[in-house]
Amino acid sequence: MMNDIDRNLVTDLAEGLLSGSAAEEATARINSNPELVASYLEQLAVIEHLRSLSPPQMSTKERSALHSNLTKELGFQHNLEPTSKTKRSLWLRPVMGLAAACIFVAAIVVIPSSLTTSSDGTLEVAFVEKQENSDTFSTTTASPAMAGAPPIVEIQPESQPESMPDTPIEEVAASDPGLRSSNILESLLYLTVGATSQDEVNILLAELNPLDLSSLSESSFTECIMEREPDLPNGVQGVLLLGYEELDDLTVAYLGIDLGAGIEKGVALNLSTCEIIDYSY
């Protein structure tokens, strides 16, 4: 079996990155092992195929459309004078304040796994609760019978959006992290749709085990929001934190987007890279 050193050696030689004695040593090393020789020839063959392709080009029509759209946006942007860092969209200001507030306000970290309709027509919330000092999740069903727990959230189905995820999260978590975050985001949105303040969000999610958000980096949160501003829908009036979770190699923040009538849309951000993992808009 080849190791990483051999693979990099083959790649370096195939890329022509080596010269002089280094190239001679690499060639000798590769020639001493038939497996490396085969891999080297294979890499060369693929590189040759790929580099024989001419680059695709835009058609005249496509280029015209691109220029037209960009010209419109260019004029619009300059009318708004957006290039000054001190003139960011107004909605970001409360977000900055919100982020700071969130560090001090106990909030909710929830991973709703399913919503089922009870016999009286209301929705019962079943969720997966993240355990502190544990890498695993345990499933708990929110219920009025839970000791010390406040009454269960009851949401009339007819007042909620129709596009609820219907696959329990734990069934897809292992095989598809993207779908998992999608389910979590949509479940959180389902519970908080219409909320206009962080307090309201916290109340709506109060039945779910609150955790301290102090480990959530304020700077990464606000910087990510600002960085992804162009990717958020138009007309954003505010962003509210719905929850976050720490997985093996990333921290995901779930955010509700207020477009003027409370939370309507949502986005899941990887705070490590500021990438949008999922969105609902």
Partner 1 sequence: MTDRADRDLALIEKYLTGDHDAFNDLVTAHEERVFAICLRMLHNREAALDATQDTFLTVLRKADSFRGKSAFSTWLYRVTVNTCYDHLRREKRSTSRQIPESYDPSDPRSVDLFDAVEVRQEIEDALSRLSSEFRAAVVLVDLQGISIDQASKILDTPVGTIKSRLFRARRQLALLLGNLRDPSNPLIGDDGE
How many alpha carbons lie under 13 Å from residue 74 in its C-beta half-sphere?
Answer: 6
Contact track, partner 1, 10-49, x by CB under 8 A: xxx--x-x----------------xx--xx-xxx-xxx-x
CA distances from 24 to 3, 21, 27, 82, 217 (A): 20, 5, 5, 55, 50
Segment near partner 1 (CB under 8 A); pick from 113-121, 141-149, 187-195, 269-277: 269-277
Toward partner 1, which CB reaches closer, 71 or 214?
71
Toward partner 1, which CB reaches closer, 70 or 90?
70
**CB 38, min distance to partner 1, A:** 3
| R_g of the chain, CA atoms, integer Å | 26
| Letter string b/e over residues 80-93, b meaning 16 or more CB atoms within 10 A of that residue's CB | eeeeeeeeeeebbe
Examine residue 162 and tell whether it contacts partner 1 (CB under 8 A): no
Segment near partner 1 (CB under 8 A); pick from 115-123, 130-138, 235-243, 272-280: 272-280
Enumerate the β-bridge partners of residue 280. Answer: 266
Strand segments, DSSP code E, in the chain are 107-108, 111-117, 123-130, 137-141, 210-211, 238-246, 251-258, 263-270, 275-280
CA distances from 82 to 74, 89, 205, 225 (A): 10, 8, 36, 16
Toward partner 1, which CB reaches closer, 62 or 199?
62
> Where in 111-140 is the site for partner 1 (CB under 8 A)?
none
Segment near partner 1 (CB under 8 A); pick from 204-212, 213-221, 223-231, 233-241: 223-231
| Letter string b/e over residues 194-215, b meaning 16 or more CB atoms within 10 A of that residue's CB | ebeebeebbebbebbbebebee
**CB 255, min distance to partner 1, A:** 16
Contact track, partner 1, 172-211, x by CB under 8 A: ------x---x-----------------------------
Examine residue 62 and tell whether it contacts partner 1 (CB under 8 A): yes
Contact set with partner 1 (CB under 8 A): 1-2, 4, 7-8, 10-12, 15, 17, 34-35, 38-39, 41-43, 45-47, 49-63, 65-67, 69-71, 73-75, 77-78, 82-85, 178, 182, 229-231, 273, 275-279
